[in-house]
Amino acid sequence: MGNVTMKEIARRANVSTATVSRVINNKGPISEITKSKVLAAIETLEYHPNLVARSLKNSTTHTISLVVSDISNAYFAKLSLAVEQVIHPKGYTLIVCSTGDSPEKEAGDLKNLLEKKVDGIILNTTGGNNEYISALSRKAPLVLCNRKIDNFDINCDFIDNDNYTASYKLTSNLIEQGHKKIGIVNGPMIVSSAQERFEGFKDAMNKISINITQDYEYYFDARYDEQSGYEVAKKVASLENKPTALVIMNGPMTIGALRYFRSQNIRIPEDISIVSATDIINQDLFYIELNAAIMDPWIIGKRAAEMLIERIEQDNKIPNREVRFYPEIRIGNSTKIIG
């Protein structure tokens, strides 16, 4: 039945429209008997409340959005499940957007979400819309996830792992094993995670008096995806003077590199050592056990959702907060000692 009104529900249940409104909005005292009568009438008449009209009246849509660079990345898939687990019991619906690391798509997605009046946004930014996002943060509660925006005017929370420490420790371990010709496969330097991981690598290499810049012989630019990891591995294999080890700065790029090396029968670690600054989900299914930083997306997603709910409930009027988790470094069998 279409276009059923609260008046018809009230008539069917033999109660006032005010009582129907209290049941629908779960507000005010009401007996269980009366509530049951109203719910039965709603079910019989197939009443569907006008959510848009209600949101305009109550200034809430009970929706939260998660905007990430690549939802096909297992890290973000698991993170989104954690967000959902936190917000669902509180009555919120999750809208997920995947930008493909395109600043243009990110800007369009964020604009659409504001127009839909979402109650809050968890954002893994592309790094290309900093001024717009800073302005947005004063209109809607915002939590930045894994990628930070350095803008004094932004009003948001930020949550991430300690990228610097992960990169520094993994690179230092390679140095301790005798490696000096160490390559770095890094993501776009426009985002904070790539910058932080680069700094960790650079400081570790400085211990053996190797000065690292982006002109470094074994610096490889890549995107944070599997295909770019595959392409870099192919390039590394073609070099006459090859690195003895690679520090790869995220899981999908590491998967891509492993896929190429295996296709060419290039052995890990016999022919080249590999470490990953973020772990691979379902690592136990792979043919090697990576030296990697263990970064749990479930913890990040859960805390990001909790922080966003706090912002929503406090009308976005709380000081900016930053949370960092220190990753555990797992030593597997993907590196070897060299003389």
Radius of gyration of the chain (CA): 25
The residue among 85, 130, 133, 131 whose CA lies nearest residue 113 is 133
**8: Cα within 13 Å, side-chain hemisphere:** 13
Contact 183, 220 (CB under 8 A): yes
Q: In whole angstroms, what is the distance from residue 58 CA to residue 5 CA?
A: 18
Q: What is the residue whose two structure tokens read 């420790």? A: 169
Evaluate the omega torsion of the peptide bond into residue 252 and state whether it is cis, within 30 degrees of 0: no
The pLDDT, as a whole number, for residue 109 is 95
Mean pLDDT by 10 residues, the chain (339 residues): 74 86 75 82 71 52 94 91 94 94 94 92 94 93 93 92 96 96 94 94 96 91 93 96 96 93 95 93 72 92 97 93 93 91
Instruction: Say if strands 120-123 and 63-68 run parallel, antiparallel, or are unpaired.
Output: parallel
What homologous superfamily does CATH list for 6-49?
A: lambda repressor-like DNA-binding domains (1.10.260.40)
- Give the global pTM: 0.78
pLDDT value, residue 283: 61
Residue ranges matching CATH 1.10.260.40 in the chain:
6-49
- What CATH class does 60-160+297-325 carry? alpha beta
CATH topology assigned to domain 163-295 = Rossmann fold (3.40.50)
Q: Where in the chain is the domain with CATH 3.40.50.2300?
A: 60-160+297-325, 163-295
DSSP H or E stretch at residue 183? strand 182-186
Nearest to 63 by CA among 97, 31, 23: 97
